[in-house]
């Protein structure tokens, strides 16, 4: 290999190891349109925006709900029996929360990110819930 090809290979390898790109992340959820109803597939697309995420949810009924999620970090209480102190400023729980709507229906959403540095790419769980008993549960 020439020196130039080694430099290009190293640059590409570093780019691949960099954090998540600003690309939309698509996650699937279980949409229960009414309380007690069997869930059906719904898809959500998360797009990075300044200070948060734009969420677009296509529900099982075909409706498009959109809104903005913002990031919140809270200290986590670690039980003393587990050798922790309560609370510690170094351990935080990261959550993305906000409301999505289609103009008629509004769902309050909260997502817990398992690897906050990677955002939604890092995995987590979430739920959107409405006043009429509708829920959409996510595991990603």
More confident residue, 25 or 14: 25
- 71 within 8 A of 96, measured Cβ to Cβ: yes
What's the predicted TM-score (pTM) here? 0.72
Tell me which DSSP letter residue 19 carries.
-
pLDDT tens by residue, 61-99: 999 999 999 998 766 666 665 565 555 555 556 899 999
* CATH fit for domain 22-139, picks 3.40.50, 1.10.10, 2.40.128, 2.30.29: 2.40.128
Burial grade of 71 (CB within 10 A; 0-12, 13-18, 19 or more): middle
List the structure tokens of 88: 């510690």
Does the structure show a pLDDT above 60 at 4?
no
Question: What are the sequence ranges of the domains in the chain?
Answer: 22-139
């Amino acid at each position: 290999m020439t020196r130039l090809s080694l430099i290009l290979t190293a640059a590409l390898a570093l780019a691949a190891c960099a954090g998540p790109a600003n690309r939309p992340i698509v996650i699937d959820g279980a949409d229960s349109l009414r309380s007690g109803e069997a869930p059906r597939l719904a898809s959500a697309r998360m797009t990075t925006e300044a200070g948060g995420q734009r969420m677009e949810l296509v529900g099982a009924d075909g409706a498009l709900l959109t809104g903005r999620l913002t990031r919140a970090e809270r200290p986590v209480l670690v039980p003393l029996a587990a050798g922790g102190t309560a609370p510690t400023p170094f351990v935080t729980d990261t959550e993305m929360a906000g409301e999505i709507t289609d103009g008629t229906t509004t769902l309050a959403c909260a997502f817990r990110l398992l690897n906050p540095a990677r955002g939604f790419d890092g995995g987590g769980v979430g739920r959107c819930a409405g006043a009429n008993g509708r829920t959409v549960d996510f595991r990603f």
